[in-house]
Structure 1
């Protein structure tokens, strides 16, 4: 139970870091990659939840927590859970690929916005580093 609470905390902390990076990007550049973090309008049933802003945050943090817990256990089965690089690789590649879900939405960013993809992917690489670092230090 203690380990699960630490993993949940890591997901929350890394999720905040991810948000902050993309918030800084939108404030400095106007690039809308930040909006995608909270977008769930392409998911049936969930897209009816209101208020959107609240469930956008809930969606973001649940995704962060579930991904940390799941990836930790997957990597543990290969005895790689204490290495930082696998977290960076998985979140960078996975985040870069997930960006294209924006094609299913009318909300920004546009699927062909190269800089949004770069910011999004970079932010997910940092997220992966934070997750891996905290797991290595706390678990």
Structure 2
């Protein structure tokens, strides 16, 4: 199986892990940070389809797959593509910043909720660990 196809599968599996961690956080704490995984309200072109539940799910998984593939190939020139920590660091830091896109939507969570920001960022750290671990193990 080609590396590219493996990366697509890794992105999908890691996206499932991210969705599950968000769901577990929501069920145990009541925090609604998970909603951001599927929210497209802040994207002008995609916003017109944001009322359909399936488009949010497709958006989530496509984002997970593309980010896994792109980051892998960005790390190749440095020889870091099979190290776990670059994935954890990039996805954690990136999601910590991207959380504030919640300023552009009326849906929860609130952009000034530290707990939502923390849960969102933490779940993406898990995602980064999943991507990095699966790449290390399978590629």
TM (norm. structure 2) is 0.97
Aligned residue for 1:14, secondary structure, equals helix
The 1:58–1:47 alpha-carbon spacing in structure 2 relative to 1, beyond 3 Å, is: same
CA displacement, residues 11-37 of structure 1 (integer Å, 9 cap, x when unaligned): 001001001011011111110001000
Distance in structure 2 (CA, Å) of the matches to 1:97 and 1:50 = 22
Q: Matched residues in 2 for 1:74 and 1:39: separation?
A: 27
Aligned to 2:31: 31
RMSD between aligned residues = 1.1
- Normalising by structure 1, report the TM-score: 0.97
Unaligned stretches of 5+ residues in structure 2: none
Indicate if the aligned counterparts of 2:39 and 2:50 stay in contact, CA closer than 8 A.
Answer: no
1:4 aligns with 2:21: no
Using the TM superposition, give the Cα deviation of residue 52 of structure 1 relative to its aligned residue in structure 2, in angstroms.
Answer: 2.0
Task: Give the alignment of 1:49-128 within 5 angstroms.
Answer: 49=49, 52-128=52-128
Superposed CA offset, 1:99-119 (max 9, x none): 111111010000001101110
SS of the counterpart of 2:123? helix
Q: Distance in 2 between matches of 1:110 and 1:52?
A: 22
Deviations along 1:78-116, one digit per CA (max 9) or x if unpaired, are: 110011010000000001111111111010000001101
Which runs of 5 or more structure 1 residues have no equivalent in the other structure?
none
Match status 1:20 vs 2:20: yes
1:41–1:50 Cα change, 3 Å: closer
Paired residue total: 139
